[in-house]
Amino acid sequence: MNLSTPIEEIPRVSPQYQKRLKKFGIKTVQGLLFHFPHRYEDFSNIIPISQIKNNQSCCIQGKILEIRNSRTWKKRMILTQALVQDYNPPAASSQPSLRSGWAPETRAVKVIWFNQPYLIKILKPGDIISLAGKTNMGEDGLYLSNPAYEKISNIQYPISSLTHTGRIVPVYPETEGLSSRWFRFIIRPLLVQLKDKLPDPLPEKIRKEFKLLPISQALWQIHFPTSLNLAKQAQERFSFEELFFIELAVLKQRMKIGSLKAQSIPLNLKALQRFTKSLPFKLTDAQKKSAWQILKDLEKPKPMNRLLEGDVGSGKTVVATLAILNVIKARHQVAFMAPTEILAKQHFKTAWELLKNFNLNIGLLTGKEDKFFSKKLKNEMVEISRKKILEKTKNGEIDVLIGTHALIQDQVRFKNLALVIVDEQHRFGVEQRAKLIQNSKLSRFYRGSRQAGKIENYPIPHLLSMTATPIPRTLALTIYGDLDLSIINELPKGRKKIITRVISPEDRNNAYNFIKKQVKSGRQVFVICPRIEPTNNKQLTINNKNILGWAEAKAVKEEYEKLSKQVFPDLKVGMLHGKLGTKEKEKIMRDFKNKKIDILVSTSVIEVGIDVPNTTVMMIEGTERFGLSQLHQFRGRVGRSKYQSFCFLFTDSPAQKTKQRLKALIDCEDGFALAEKDLKIRGPGDFMGHRQWGIPDLVMNSLKDVFLVEKTRQSAKEILEEDPELKKYPLLQRQLEKFQERIHLE
Ligand code: ADP
Ligand code: MG
C-alpha cells in the first residue's frame, strides 16, 4: 500500500463507495489522505454523566443498560433509545430503567438516535461505549441527541486511540453517501499503516527554515489532531507546500519562456513619434513608461510575457496600439483577441481610427461577422467573407487581425505572427488562454517545418496580456508569477471624480428622478442587474455553493419591463444580456452609442471595456452579488467625459460585510487598493474565481500573507538556481509534475 494505490485496493472500501469517491474526484490513497477536514469538533473533554448540562456539546463514556427501538407517536420516525450509565457506576441499589424514567442520582443518561434502527444490532446492553454529541431537554429530563458513538471494548486502549468521540474529531466536506464518520473510518487505518512510510517531498532544509511539520506527522495531525494548535500547524504545512509548488511551477515556467526564441522587433522611433503626435491627447507618464517596457521587451530575441495592468479608463488600448504599430512597421503580424464581439468590434474601430494614416490592413474575425479594412479600399470598412479573411491572414496581407476567441480556431494561420495581444485576459477561460498560448507558441506558420528541427529553435510570438482587474501583490507573485508586469497607475488628466452613493430603498424614486433629469440634459444611463431571468428557484448553486436569496436578485428582463413601462415610460430604455444573438447585441450597442437608447439595462456583459463617454450614470442593482473589483469595473464605464458622473449602488442585503464593502468602494477610487481590500474581505477564492485555477482552498489563506509569499518565492528561487531540474530532489520534482497537471497557471 502506498500513496498511489487505487481506492479499489483499499480494504473496506466497497464498490458502492468506490463509485461515490470517484464522483467526488478521489481515486487513490493519496486522494483520501489529502481529503482534509474543513473543521473540527472538540470532544476531547470526557465528562462524568452526573455533570452534563442541557444544551452542551460533550463526550461521555459508559455502559449501555438498555437499548430498544420504538416509533414516534406520529409513526413517522423510528427512535432508538438507550440508557447509558457512567463507566464506574456507584454501588447503586436500584438499576434505572427506561420504563421508570430517568433518575439523576444514578448517573445514567438517556440517548436517542433518530431513524437508525440498525443500531440495536451493533450496540448491546452491557457494551461500554463512548458518545459525543449535544444534550437536549426532553419531557423526562436530559438526553443526548443523535451522538456519534463507538464501542470502547472493541478498540485498543489508551482512549486517545478513539476515532469518532473523546477527541478532537475531524469533520470532512461531505457529499451524498460519504459521511465524516465514513471518512474517519477509512482514513484512520490508512494513516496507521502508512505512518512511517511516507516520504516527504519538502526538502528538510526548507522544512527547518519555515518550521514545518514533517509529512507523516502533519497528515496525522490534520486528520486526528492531538490539539487544535497542532491541527493548525498541520494546515500551515500543507498550505505552505501548495504555495511552494506554485512558486516552483511559475518560476520554472519563467525559465522555460526565457529559453525560447522570438522575433526581435527593432524600435521604430520615427513611426512611434508620428503616431503619438497624431493623437488628440498627450500620453500619461504611466502610459509612456508601460509602452517603453513593452517596446524594450519586443526588441529582445526571446518572447515577451507581459501583463499590462491598468485601471478602467487608464488608456491601455493606446499603449497596445503603439506596440502593434512597431511590430507592423517591422513587417510582422499582430493578433489581438478580446473576450466579446462587442469589444472586439470596438477595438477594430479604435485601431482603424488611430492607425488610419499608417497604411495598414486591419481584419476583424468574430464568430459570425467578418470585416476587413484595407487602405486600398479608400479608408472604408468592407465586409468580406470569412474565407477571404483567413486567406489574407495567411498570405500576410492583413497586418493586424482583431477578433474574439474565433482567433484560436485551427483554420487561422498567419504568415509572420510576432505579437499576440489578449485584452481583458481574465475573461478568457483557462482552456482558451492555454490554447491561444499553445497555438501561438507553435504558430501554425511553423507547423509544416517542425520536423526540420527542434521546436525550441523556432521563434514564437511575443505575448501581451491586458487587464483592468488589478492583481494584488501576492497573486502577482504566485498565479501570475511567470509574467512581467507593467502598471498604468494614473488616469488621463482632467477626469472628474465619479460621485458614488449607496441608495436606500426610500431614496429609490429620487434616484429615478435624478436619472430623468440627466437624460433630459442629454446624458445616458447604465443599469446593471445580476441576472437575466427572474427565478423562483431558491436553491441555485454556483461552484457547489448554495447561493440562497438569488431569487431576489434583480433580473434584467424584469427590471427592463419595470423601467420601460412604469418608471421611464417616455424615455428610450434598452436591454442587453449575454443570451441575445450577436447581431442583436451589436444593434443595441450601436443604438446606445448613437443615443437611440437613453437607458441601457444590462447584465455584467458590459463590465468589460465598453466605451460610451456620454454615459454619466451607472446604477447597480444587487451590489452584494458582485466583487469590489467588479463593481469598480462597472463604475469605470462612466466618468469618461467632461460631464460629472455618478455611480448609484443598490443592495437588499443588510449584512455588515456588504456595507463594509460598499463603503470601501465609495471611499476609494483606486482599483489596486480596492483589489487588495477585496482580497482581504472576501478572500482570494472569491476574488477571481480560483476554482478556475484548481488551486485548493488551503493555499488561499497563505495568499493573504505577502511576507510569507515573498519568502516562499525566494526559497523556491534558490532551489531552482542551484538545481534547475530538481535532480537532487526527485520526490519534489515528481510531486511538482503531479501538481502541474492539477493546476492551471496563466
Ligand atoms: P482601458 O484602459 O480601460 O482599456 P481605454 O484604452 O479604453 O481604457 O481608454 C479610455 C479612454 O481614454 C479612451 O476614450 C481613450 O481614447 C482615452 N485616453 C487614453 N489615453 C488618454 C490620455 N493620455 N489622455 C486622454 N484620454 C486618453
Ligand atoms: Mg480596455
With a CB cutoff of 8 Å and minimum separation 6, the contacts of 467 are 307, 308, 309, 424, 425, 426
Check residue 309 and report its DSSP letter.
Answer: E
Please report whether residue 238 resides in a domain.
no
Q: Which of 287, 309, 312, 314 to mutate to test the pocket of ligand 1 (most atoms within 8 A of CB)?
A: 314
What are φ and ψ of residue 602, in 5° steps?
-145, 160
Residues 683 and 700: their CA atoms lie apart, in Å, by 7
Calculate how far, in angstroms, residue 492's C-alpha sits from the geometric centre of ligand 1: 7
Domain-terminating residue out of 110, 139, 160: 160
Contact 719, 726 (CB under 8 A): yes
Ligand 1 contact via 313 beta carbon (within 6 Å): yes
With a CB cutoff of 8 Å and minimum separation 6, the contacts of 266 are 299, 330
- Region of poorest pLDDT, from 1-15, 423-437, 576-590: 423-437
**What is the residue-averaged pLDDT of the chain?**
83
Ligand 1 contact via 492 beta carbon (within 6 Å): yes
Helices vs strands, H then E, count in the chain: 24, 24
Calculate how far, in angstroms, residue 72's C-alpha sits from the geometric centre of ligand 1: 72
Q: Which residues pair with residue 625 across a beta bridge?
A: none
- Whether 526 and 446 share a structural domain: no
Contact 338, 351 (CB under 8 A): no
Greatest alpha-carbon pair distance for the chain in Å reads: 111
Q: Are strands 108-114 and 78-86 parallel, antiparallel or unpaired?
A: antiparallel
Calculate how far, in angstroms, residue 642's C-alpha sits from the geometric centre of ligand 1: 13
587 HSE (CA, 13 A, CB side)? 7
468 HSE (CA, 13 A, CB side)? 27
Q: What per-residue confidence (pLDDT) applies to 447?
A: 38
Q: What is the DSSP string of 421-482?
A: EETTGGGS-HHHHHHHHHHHHT-HHHHTTGGGS-GGGSB--EEEEEESS---HHHHHTTTTT
Contact 448, 362 (CB under 8 A): no
Please report whether residue 604 resides in a domain.
yes
Q: What per-residue confidence (pLDDT) applies to 618?
A: 95
pLDDT digits (tens, 9 = 90+) for 589-615: 889 989 999 999 998 877 566 778 899
Q: How far apart are the first and last CA of the chain?
A: 36
Q: What count of other Cβ atoms lies within 10 Å of the Cβ of residue 75?
A: 7
Q: Are strands 484-488 and 305-310 parallel, antiparallel or unpaired?
A: parallel
- Region of poorest pLDDT, from 546-550, 668-672, 730-734: 546-550
- Whether 509 and 649 share a structural domain: yes
CATH number of the CATH domain containing 404? 3.40.50
Residues 275 and 357: their CA atoms lie apart, in Å, by 9
Domain-terminating residue out of 160, 189, 224: 160
- Whether 589 and 533 share a structural domain: yes
Q: What per-residue confidence (pLDDT) applies to 746?
A: 42
334 HSE (CA, 13 A, CB side)? 28
Planar angle of CA 692, 694, 699, nearest 5 degrees: 120
pLDDT digits (tens, 9 = 90+) for 84-113: 987 654 444 445 444 444 444 457 899 999
What type of residue sits at position 175?
T
Q: Which of 148, 127, 144 is nearest to 136 (CA)?
A: 144
- Whether 440 and 518 share a structural domain: no
Q: What is the DSSP string of 82-110?
A: EEEEESS----SS---STT---GGGTEEE
Ligand 1 contact via 287 beta carbon (within 6 Å): yes
How many structural domains does the chain have? 3
Which contiguous run of DSSP H or E holds residue 71? strand 57-71
Ligand 1 contact via 576 beta carbon (within 6 Å): no
Nearest CA to ligand 1 atom 5: 315
With a pLDDT cut of 90, the percent of the chain lying above it is: 39
Q: What per-residue confidence (pLDDT) applies to 371?
A: 67
Ligand 1 contact via 284 beta carbon (within 6 Å): yes
Q: What per-residue confidence (pLDDT) applies to 308?
A: 93
Please report whether residue 571 resides in a domain.
yes
Residues 244 and 548: their CA atoms lie apart, in Å, by 36
pLDDT (average), residues 57-78: 86
Q: Which three cell numbers stand for residue 170?
A: 475531524
Ligand 1 atom closest to the Cα of residue 287 is 23
Nearest CA to ligand 1 atom 26: 492
Domain residue limits at 55? 45-160
Q: Ligand 2 being an ion, which residues bring their Cβ within 5 A of it?
A: 609
Please report whether residue 492 resides in a domain.
no
Please report whether residue 402 resides in a domain.
yes
Nearest CA to ligand 1 atom 16: 315
Ligand 1 contact via 283 beta carbon (within 6 Å): yes
Ligand 1 contact via 316 beta carbon (within 6 Å): yes
For residues 577, 578, 583, 586, the Cα torsion angle rounded to the nearest 10 degrees is: 60
Residues 246 and 453: their CA atoms lie apart, in Å, by 32
Ligand 1 atom closest to the Cα of residue 494 is 25
For residues 7, 9, 15, 18, the Cα torsion angle rounded to the nearest 10 degrees is: 0
Q: What count of other Cβ atoms lies within 10 Å of the Cβ of residue 721?
A: 10
Calculate how far, in angstroms, residue 174's C-alpha sits from the geometric centre of ligand 2: 42
Q: Which three cell numbers stand for residue 107?
A: 448517573
Which contiguous run of DSSP H or E holds residue 673? helix 671-688
Q: Which of 283, 316, 317, 321 to mutate to test the pocket of ligand 1 (most atoms within 8 A of CB)?
A: 317
Domain-terminating residue out of 637, 668, 699: 668
Ligand 1 contact via 288 beta carbon (within 6 Å): no
CA distances from 643 to 80, 508, 523, 631, 670 (A): 73, 23, 9, 21, 20
Q: Which three cell numbers stand for residue 554?
A: 434583480
With a CB cutoff of 8 Å and minimum separation 6, the contacts of 327 are 265, 298, 333, 334, 418, 419, 462
CATH number of the CATH domain containing 563? 3.40.50.300
Please report whether residue 732 resides in a domain.
no
Ligand 1 contact via 315 beta carbon (within 6 Å): yes
- Whether 400 and 344 share a structural domain: yes
With a pLDDT cut of 70, the percent of the chain lying above it is: 84
What type of residue sits at position 23?
K
Residues 130 and 64: their CA atoms lie apart, in Å, by 10
- Whether 505 and 619 share a structural domain: yes
Calculate how far, in angstroms, residue 317's C-alpha sits from the geometric centre of ligand 1: 7
Check residue 492 and report its DSSP letter.
Answer: P
Calculate how far, in angstroms, residue 315's C-alpha sits from the geometric centre of ligand 1: 3
What type of residue sits at position 376?
K
Q: What per-residue confidence (pLDDT) applies to 660?
A: 81
pLDDT of 641 higher than 90: no
Which residue in the block uniquely carries the three cell numbers 451493533? 122
Q: Which of 284, 287, 316, 318 to mutate to test the pocket of ligand 1 (most atoms within 8 A of CB)?
A: 318
Ligand 1 atom closest to the Cα of residue 283 is 23
- Whether 81 and 133 share a structural domain: yes
- Whether 516 and 452 share a structural domain: no
Residue 689: pLDDT band (50, 70, 90) is very low
- Whether 424 and 503 share a structural domain: no
Ligand 1 contact via 614 beta carbon (within 6 Å): no
Ligand 1 contact via 318 beta carbon (within 6 Å): yes
Contact 47, 58 (CB under 8 A): yes
- Whether 545 and 418 share a structural domain: no
Calculate how far, in angstroms, residue 296's C-alpha sits from the geometric centre of ligand 1: 22
Contact 81, 63 (CB under 8 A): no
Alpha helices in 483-617 (DSSP H): 508-520, 556-561, 582-593
Ligand 1 contact via 173 beta carbon (within 6 Å): no
Residues 304 and 323: their CA atoms lie apart, in Å, by 12
Which contiguous run of DSSP H or E holds residue 296? helix 285-299
Contact 218, 238 (CB under 8 A): yes
Nearest CA to ligand 1 atom 23: 283
Please report whether residue 710 resides in a domain.
no
Ligand 1 contact via 28 beta carbon (within 6 Å): no
CATH number of the CATH domain containing 140? 2.40.50.140
pLDDT of 151 higher than 80: yes
Q: What per-residue confidence (pLDDT) applies to 226?
A: 92
| 3 state SS of 379 | coil
Q: Which of 70, 82, 58 is nearest to 115 (CA)?
A: 70
pLDDT (average), residues 458-482: 81
- Whether 506 and 625 share a structural domain: yes
Q: How far is CA 204 from the centre of its chain?
A: 32
pLDDT (average), residues 637-665: 85
Q: What per-residue confidence (pLDDT) applies to 540?
A: 39
Nearest CA to ligand 1 atom 18: 315
Q: What is the DSSP string of 38-66?
A: SEEEE---B--GGG--TT-EEEEEEEEEE
Please report whether residue 731 resides in a domain.
no
Q: Which of 439, 486, 433 is nearest to 461 (CA)?
A: 439
pLDDT (average), residues 544-568: 70
Q: What per-residue confidence (pLDDT) applies to 434?
A: 57
Nearest CA to ligand 1 atom 22: 492
CA distances from 144 to 118, 131, 141, 532 (A): 18, 9, 10, 48
Check residue 555 and report its DSSP letter.
Answer: B
- Whether 522 and 638 share a structural domain: yes
